[in-house]
Amino acid sequence: MTRSERAMQVWQILIGAAHNRQTLTYGQVAEHLEFEGAGVLAPILGCIMSYCEAKNLPPLTCLVVNKTTGLPGAGLTTVEDLPTEREAVYNQNWFAMYPVQIPDLESHA
């Protein structure tokens, strides 16, 4: 499966979490994808982060956090004020948007 295809899967997981006002650990996201570990998520989340930034959307990837710290990893470079931006993610009506497609994510992979 390509990075953009995996990003599409993670996108669906994250918009569901946003709708429910949840954060997910890297391990939980990896488990949804049946990955052995969370270490492979960085490029996939980077694709989503880049897409959100390019489309002027709230940073959906700020919902994925480290199990120990409760914070996103250092690779989340598009967030300046985590509580405010996470609230924007929760308040965005992701399901009302035209669904993101794999080709939309390919240029950000």
Predicted local confidence at residue 83, as pLDDT: 95
Residue 20 has pLDDT above 90, yes or no: yes
Rounded Cα distance between 9 and 27, Å, is 15
State the residue for tokens 């967030």: 79
pTM of this structure = 0.93
Query: Residue ranges of the alpha helices (H) in 2-101?
Result: 3-19, 26-32, 41-54, 82-91
Give the per-residue pLDDT at 55.
96
Segment 32-59, tens digit of pLDDT: 998 876 678 999 999 999 999 999 999 9
Confidence of residue 1 (pLDDT cuts 50, 70, 90): confident
Q: What is the pLDDT of residues 68-107, one digit of tens each?
A: 999 998 888 888 899 999 999 999 999 999 999 999 999 8
